[in-house]
Structure 1
Amino acid sequence: MELLNIDCLGKPLKLEGSPAGWQQLHWDGQIVSQKQGSADGLKVHVFRLHDGSHQTDIEVRLETYLRWQPFVLDYRLVVEDEIIASGQRLTKDIERQTPTKPAVANKQVKPLGLLALAFKLFKSAKVIKVVLAGASMAAYSWLFSFEFAIALILCLVIHEYGHIRAMKRFGLQTKGIYLIPFLGGLAISDSKLNTRWQNVVISIMGPTYGMLLSVIAFIAYEITGMELLAGLAVFNALLNIFNLLPILPLDGGHIIKSIGYSQNHLTGLIVCIAGAALGVYISYALGLTLLGILLAVGSLEIIMEWRYRHQSDLLPMDRYGQIVSAVWYLLTIAILAGIIAVLASSSDNPVMQLPLHILRG
């Protein structure tokens, strides 16, 4: 991942690194230094450059002192024993940075390229979104009913809107919400994530908005007695609790992966295994067979990939971020499961009991 990008003799000096301990330094797109060793601590990159204003090569030295959790990078750039740049970078700086992209040469518009340009304009005019939304409404109305289709699309839109709000909170560019018939919804961003905290917040805000919808519908049902509101609350809760299962590419898979992969030591792996085992045990103890099976499969997949965590370009979370993420995740699941259990036990309507039966397999 990109740790630093500053000016050096009129050209960009970029430092890349990984929690695995390697660092690579680029000047004007060329590798000038590489270091391997301890992830934290002092690293000094020394290299020589030829500058047009000097008849001989000049010595450049970049000194960095890095701590990954919580992330702090102190740096000092020295040219010919003169300090020309120094400073400190924190997690918020990594979150706000925009990765550099190679320049793309301008191309002349050819006659055959006008068709491709027209297609891009067609997509950018939001026609695709309208077509997909209409197709989703028709598909769900055909499978269930028009009223249920409206409720389901409402649940999907609010869920995806939570993702969009989180993306905008981090200053990421978004393309909006796409409703995919029979598959749900999709919130698309044009920007690249920089930290695992961003990945957690963006992933969990969809189920959080969905949880709020279920809570509001449940309260409204308690006040009015309208079973339509109860059905909205319970099926929306089921939709979001499945989305929180630790299975990629579901939101729960991204959340658990970001928490587990932020652990630099064996302790993190032990915590992941213990948490997965506890979740499976609780699921079976409550008779939620299907949930227990999916939880076991998803957790095993994430644990098996734990060894490759240092190859990611995302900045790991510190201990505080890991704890907040875990509590947020578990609390959201608990509230959604609570709504399903309460409505199933308080109503004789088999429709209200269906989500609980599904979870029990």
Structure 2
Amino acid sequence: MAPVTSERPARPTGPGLAALMAIGAVLIKLKWVLTALKLGKFTTMFASMIVSVAVYAMMFGWPFAVGFIGLLFIHEMGHAAVLKARGIAAGAPVFIPLFGAAITMRQHPPDAETEAAVGIGGPIAGTAAASLCWGVFLMTGSAFWCALAYTGFFLNLFNLLPVSPLDGGRVAGAISRWLWIPGLLLLGVSLWLRFSPILVLVAILGLMQLGGEFRRPATERARYYDVPFGARVRIAVLYFGLALFLGYASLASHDVLLRLT
């Protein structure tokens, strides 16, 4: 695509874009979707990637489809890098058309600090990828790269909501499990302002996670969430700092995108 602002690349806009990103963000985290897949992990990864690109291309055009899958892939690689560094066995990413992508963990993290590190690894990598797209836009003036940057910023911001099964829910557990409450309340307000089936799904899963914590033995719960104070502070600074940056970047890139189109 020529790097000029007068061109308008095929891409989702408005509610359609937000819905696509939200669906991808939520179902990225539903690990059980992949348990039925029996193919070799890399065969599955590449095959599912090609299928997903083809599906998105029919909706938004090939350039945006490839870019969107690239953003999802880098996000998942952020999770994969932390999993490998922490010695947690995991499969390769698998892409599910219209749903997103997922990496299955073959073992549960040993504690909340490790789970938080795995959880925030994806948004950090995804934010870096979106920032790179924004940098290309600044150099070229292409609305295509601006659209990809906004998509990446918003996708990763949504993922940081402190509600399970999103990444933010995993991170929040290491800071304070009380953060799950305002996360659910925020979802409730969002649903009251504008109904969305995907938000209903997130709310249901979040409530299930909250209920599961109450059923968990107290000693096991105390051990799992026994995170040193210094680690809590570091995770909190990283989490809230990233959320603030993504919030600003999403608003700024969206404003620029509206002016370009």
The 5 Å alignment of 1:119-158 reads: 123-124=39-40, 126-158=42-74
| Shift, 1:201, TM fit | 0.6
Question: Are the equivalent residues in 1 in contact too, given 2:41–2:91 (CA < 8 A)?
Answer: no
Cα distance in 2, alignment partners of residues 306 and 191 from structure 1: 19
| Other-structure match for 2:109 | 193
| Shift, 1:214, TM fit | 1.6
Structure 2 residue 92 is the aligned partner of structure 1 residue 176: yes
Which amino acid in structure 2 is aligned with residue 343 of structure 1? Answer: S
Do the aligned partners of residues 242 and 350 (structure 1) sit closer, same or farther apart at CA in structure 2, a change above 3 Å counting? Answer: farther
Secondary structure at 1:188 match in 2: coil
| Other-structure match for 2:166 | 250
The C-alpha deviation readout for 1:62-110, integer Å capped at 9, x for no partner, is: xxxxxxxxxxxxxxxxxxxxxxxxxxxxxxxxxxxxxxxxxxxxxxxxx
The C-alpha deviation readout for 1:115-140, integer Å capped at 9, x for no partner, is: xxxx96xx236322222112111111
CA RMSD of aligned residues (A): 3.5
| Shift, 1:303, TM fit | 5.8
Please state which structure has a larger fraction of its residues in strand: 1
The 5 Å alignment of 1:289-300 reads: 297=203
Q: Point out the more displaced range, 299-308 or 335-344.
A: 299-308
Which amino acid in structure 2 is aligned with residue 192 of structure 1? Answer: H
Cα distance in 1, alignment partners of residues 41 and 116 from structure 2: 31
Question: Are the equivalent residues in 1 in contact too, given 2:82–2:121 (CA < 8 A)?
Answer: yes
Do the aligned partners of residues 180 and 223 (structure 1) sit closer, same or farther apart at CA in structure 2, a change above 3 Å counting? Answer: same
The 5 Å alignment of 1:1-361 reads: 123-124=39-40, 126-261=42-177, 269=178, 280=186, 297=203, 301=207, 307-308=214-215, 310=218, 311-312=220-221, 314=224, 316-349=226-259
Cα distance in 2, alignment partners of residues 217 and 125 from structure 1: 28
Secondary structure at 1:174 match in 2: coil
Question: Are the equivalent residues in 2 in contact too, given 1:245–1:253 (CA < 8 A)?
Answer: yes
Tell me: higher relative CO, structure 1 or 2? Use CA pairs within 8 A at least 6 residues apart.
2
Please state which structure has a larger fraction of its residues in helix: 2
Larger radius of gyration: 1
Question: Are the equivalent residues in 2 in contact too, given 1:211–1:335 (CA < 8 A)?
Answer: no
Unaligned runs of 5+ in 1: 1-118, 262-268, 352-361
Cα distance in 2, alignment partners of residues 232 and 341 from structure 1: 14
TM-score w.r.t. length of structure 2: 0.69
| Shift, 1:220, TM fit | 2.6
Secondary structure at 2:92 match in 1: strand
Which amino acid in structure 2 is aligned with residue 317 of structure 1? Answer: V
